[in-house]
Amino acid sequence: MRRITALFLTIALLLALACAFAEGPESHYMSKWRYRRDGFHRATCLDDGCDFQLNAPCAQLSVTYEGETFTACPVCGHNAIGNGRHRRCLVQLYDYDTSPTGDVLVNQYRSPFGSDSDVASAFSVVFEHAGQISVFEGNMRLWLTIDCPAQYELFRVENDELVPCESEYDAAKKILTFEVPSGSWMYVILKKA
């Protein structure tokens, strides 16, 4: 009996130690990243009574189209430059097929160059861990739900160039599938000419 009690105490002690050292975001139910101020974003634990939070500096990704540049933080979606008021497409993350520690974040910037621009929408795809951009190995397959009123084409921004993306579109489900190479990317949806 004494041995069983000792075993239980040891297990309880180990569990307590595991909790005390569980400081990473994986052991909490974290909120989305939100812009705070001064170029920092924050995520907080949503569990009752837990005040764990993480703060990290914003990153920047940009897209230049016809001489205008739009810049935003791909983690919290905060716009550093650009109006981002017009919404002509709705882009949302549906699924992805890579699973290292952390999250794939898709942030949409609506129409960053105004309603007259051919850019219907811009969105970023990054891999995030503890509020900072991380990397994944190889290619990742990404599924997005996309709701656009007009015909569109998808481009990835690479060294300020717009590179056309091969993608499959399921019109009935409004799901777009494409490969994302390792890295942090801004994508734009252009109205078909």
Which residues sit at the interface with Zn ion, rule CB under 5 A? 28, 41, 45, 47, 50, 52, 58, 73, 75-76, 78
CA nearest neighbour of 122 among 132, 108, 135: 108
In the complex, minimum distance from the CB of residue 52 to Zn ion, in angstroms, rounded to a whole number = 4
Contacts of 109 (CB under 8 A, 6+ apart): 70, 72, 77, 79, 82, 84, 121, 122, 123, 124
> Nearer to Zn ion by C-beta: 72 or 154?
72
Tell me whether residue 52 or residue 143 sits nearer to Zn ion (CB atom): 52
- Distance, CA of 101 to CA of 38 (rounded, Å): 28
Least distance (Å) between residue 57 CB and Zn ion: 8
Q: Return d(Cα 108, Cα 63) in angstroms, integer.
A: 13
Q: Where are the alpha helices (DSSP H) in 25-177?
A: none
Smallest distance, Zn ion to C-beta of residue 59, A: 7
In the complex, minimum distance from the CB of residue 127 to Zn ion, in angstroms, rounded to a whole number = 15
Three-state secondary structure call for residue 25: helix
Which CB, 50 or 135, lies closer to Zn ion?
50
**Which of 74, 176 has the CB closer to Zn ion?**
74
Nearer to Zn ion, 117 or 184 (CB): 184
Q: Residue 75: which of 53, 28, 107 has the closest Cα?
A: 107
Least Å distance, CB 132 to Zn ion, is: 10
